[in-house]
Amino acid sequence: MSERSLNSNDDQGMKELADKYKMGISTVHGAESFYEFLRPSHRKKKAFVCNGSACMCAGTQIPLKEKLQEKLGKDKVGEMFCLGHCYENHAFHYDGENYAGEDIKKIDQIINREEIKQEKFFSKSYATTSFLMDDKLSNVDQFKELLNKFLKTDKKKIIKSLLDSNLTGRGGAGFPTGMKWDFCSKTNSEKKYVVCNADEGDSGAFSDRYLLEDQPLKVLFGMVICGYVIGGNEGVLYIRGEYPKSIEAINGSINLLKSEKLLGEKILGTDFSFDLNICIGQGAYICGEETALIASIEGRRAEVDVRPPFPVTEGLYKKPTVVNNVESLAAATGILINGAEKFSAIGNKKSAGTKLVCLDSFFNKPGVYEIDMGTSMKKIFNEIGGGYKEPIKAFQIGGPLGGVVPLAEVEKLNLDFQEFTAGGFMLGHASVVSIPKNFNMIDYIHHLFEFSAEESCGKCFPGRLGSYRGKEMFDQVKNKTAKIPLKLLNELLITMQKGCLCALCGAIPTPIMNILKYFGDELKNDILIDN
């Protein structure tokens, strides 16, 4: 979209854009109105408080919002979902930058645009072999040497390495990465794309931030080699607008690679040409779903598409497309550097290799850690995370769609996708939001329904209506105007679970069902057992 259309709501700007791209004005307006950051109400604000689950559980949002309103005015402060500072909370966005922790105490300096020193997340690898946090691809010379090696390697050999490694997608779906590349490579088309999904805004997760900001060349190398393998010449990184430093880091790395002629035409004197571009998300969580992400890149409303066809055969602009998330691409690079046998030797066939795990501010040692799959969660939480700063009763692991796991249950589990699924939970991105002992579970369920009501793409009835009905039920409970019939609530949850088109509204019942199962005693005064 043009700069004018992004920053103006006038009809003339809409018409110019529609004429330029040969679209109807209603199509342009439909796309613009879908995204939070493009709405006039959003553009009138000056600051945005993080309303993610981690900040909510930490209780930092209300005093933070009051402080910002005092400085900027009540009508100038809005909300933004998860800024990726779950390790320190107190997160807010101001004038294109994110702040958190003690930064609010320097609000006058921030308003005066003075540079302030910010805390960095802590990161460390506990892996047998580090695939994601080592320094084997930290400069352009290493990139060039590795690229030169693999552009001379048979494409089938690269695919075989990924298949042999047992790498599965790190976003939660768990599809074998090598299989995805293989399928796309075998699809006939004069044009193919590689897309990096860097729009996964799960609360509690900041592993994408780590990779994009601290290991950008690993992510970019994974995209370039994927393009080589599938026969594509163009890649797109779809990065969430809530991560300005990630956008800056990736943009700087792309420009560096272009200046060294490691992107562009006939790379390193070969017949392989490949270029990379960035598409910045405009505040829609649903864009973490691959078909919605593709629609967004194309300039459409980010609504979920029915599959099949899958992107590997019909994706971006109806061309074969590989969509991988940030960690999957970085892991693919790590496998090519260190060898498939080392990766597959860790964990098991369906949960192999290493995984980034994010621990929030309730841990004594918050941060992002690289950990061997199969490691016990008890060890991760108590030894690596150093235990808890205050009593915790449950964890939401895997983002808003992940299960709510009671403390007693999580200590029985290992870092394993299948174990979590078998227990009725979801490992997903391995983001951990700690729910303190004194937190009201009615408020947590309301938060989940409110989130899905706001972030649903609205395409299917169960998602669009179900989320709002659920929110309305818990509005009544919070306002003490009615109790919820358990039978009606269960019917709503099952309808959403079975009838929703995407994982957002279709998976949000999982954590709510977990809360009903494990924390029923807390809800007994607000939910009617008999209808």
Predicted local confidence at residue 7, as pLDDT: 45
> Which residues make beta-bridge pairs with 278?
237
**Does residue 405 register a pLDDT over 50?**
yes
Give mean pLDDT, residues 323-342: 98
Domain covering 124-344 assigned CATH 3.40.50.11540 in the classification: yes
Taking the model in full, what pTM does it have? Answer: 0.95
Give mean pLDDT, residues 273-281: 97
Number of helices followed by number of strands (H, E) in the chain: 25, 16
Q: Please report which confidence band the pLDDT of residue 452 belongs to, taking 50, 70 and 90 as the band edges.
A: very high
Q: Please report which confidence band the pLDDT of residue 33 belongs to, taking 50, 70 and 90 as the band edges.
A: confident
Residue labelled with tokens 């430093």: 245
First to last CA, the chain: 51
Predicted local confidence at residue 10, as pLDDT: 59
Provide the 3-class DSSP secondary structure of residue 375: coil
Provide the 3-class DSSP secondary structure of residue 346: coil
**Does residue 15 register a pLDDT over 90?**
no
> Which residues make beta-bridge pairs with 92?
49, 99
Predicted local confidence at residue 3, as pLDDT: 38
Give mean pLDDT, residues 147-166: 98
Q: Residue type at 195?
A: V
Distance CA 431, CA 368 (A): 9
**Does residue 410 register a pLDDT over 70?**
yes
Q: Pick from 206, 97, 231: which is nearest to 156 by CA? A: 231
**Does residue 8 register a pLDDT over 60?**
no
Distance CA 114, CA 128 (A): 43
Domain covering 441-528 assigned CATH 1.20.1740.10 in the classification: no
Crossing angle between the packed helical segments 140-150 and 216-230, to the nearest 10 degrees: 20
